[in-house]
Amino acid sequence: MSDAAQGPARVPALAIEAVSHAFGARRALDGVSLTVPAGCFVALLGPNGAGKTTLFSLATRLYATREGRVRIFGHDLSRAPSAALAELGVVFQSRTLDLDLSVRQNLAYHGALHGMAGREVKARIAELLALVGLADRIDDKVRTLSGGQSRRVEIARALIHRPRLLLLDEATVGLDLPSRSAIVEIVRRLVAEEGLAVLWATHIFDEVRADDLIYVLDKGRIIAHGTAREVTGAHLRPAEERAPDGPTAALEAAFRAMTAARAEDAA
């Protein structure tokens, strides 16, 4: 029996197993394994150059997986790419909306690419724009939107075909605090209310909550995983863990300690 046939409760939304990737002699990912359970928010934390975007490029089949395996709701991305990709929505790090088209046109184009019928696309656009709080901007050109608003349109676009897994690569980078909070809030609501599974790549610690599952990626390797609370506890002495600045500062301190220890080992 294939993994996809075992029933939704047991099959993870995303299962990355022992994936490696090299650009020439540079090994960007080295035996990375990571699981996003169905209906869960998982954060992928890593500094610049850790390999987050490379991992996303493999999980979206932008790059072929040569070493290891990627499965989306049990569908092997190499062997059954259509079934796997039908379950997947992606918000890439760089902006990809057409600035001279309206919000509606950008979304409708994407719906057509997924083979959705016109009436279905129209209803889905209305539903999604209400969800991201942009119903009143439907006929405005994307050029007239703020950075945070365009990001929200990109989230709506990624969800147009009703995927059950959403990958976001540093979706809040370059945004001010209120815009960042609004986006994190929308994504967390989708997880809580719609049962969406999310892999949220970031290097911003205050976007992670103590109960979130996190994976810490550094120089192409997963160096810690568990809940943020567990990872913080495992890598900090108790006095630091009780830092007055709270869990964000504790997580950041734990992260610095882990990556610094690896840098010393490598020296």
Contact residue for ligand ATP among 13, 15, 16, 28 (CB under 6 A):
28
Given the complex with ligand ATP, which of 34 and 128 has the nearer CB atom? 34
Residue 163 lies near ligand ATP (rule: CB under 6 A): no
- Indicate whether 53 belongs to the interface with ligand ATP (CB under 6 A): yes
Determine, following the binding rule CB under 6 A, whether residue 23 of this chain makes contact with ligand ATP: yes
Based on the shown chain and the rule CB under 6 A, indicate whether residue 171 belongs to the binding site for ligand ATP.
no
CB of 24 to ligand ATP, least distance (A): 7
Contact between 52 and ligand ATP (CB under 6 A)? yes
In the complex, minimum distance from the CB of residue 125 to ligand ATP, in angstroms, rounded to a whole number: 30
Q: Which is nearer to ligand ATP, 26 or 119 (CB)?
A: 26
User: Nearer Cβ to ligand ATP, position 39 or 47?
Assistant: 47
82 binding ligand ATP? (CB under 6 A): no
Told to check if 90 binds ligand ATP by CB under 6 A, we report no
**Residue among 12, 51, 111, 247 that touches ligand ATP (CB under 6 A):** 51
3-state secondary structure the chain: CCHHHHCCCCCCCEEEEEEEEEECCEEEEEEEEEEECCCCEEEEECCCCCCHHHHHHHHCCCCCCCEEEEEECCEECCCCHHHHHHCEEEECCCCCCCCCCEHHHHHHHHHHHCCCCHHHHHHHHHHHHHHCCCHHHCCCEHHHCCHHHHHHHHHHHHCCCCCCEEEEECCCCCCCHHHHHHHHHHHHHHHHHHCCEEEEEECCHHHCCCCCEEEEEECCEEEEEEEHHHHHHHHCCHHHHCCCCCHHHHHHHHHHHHHHHHHHHHC
Q: Pick from 7, 49, 81, 195 the residue near ligand ATP by CB under 6 A.
A: 49
Binding site for ligand ATP (CB under 6 A): 23, 26, 28, 46, 48-54
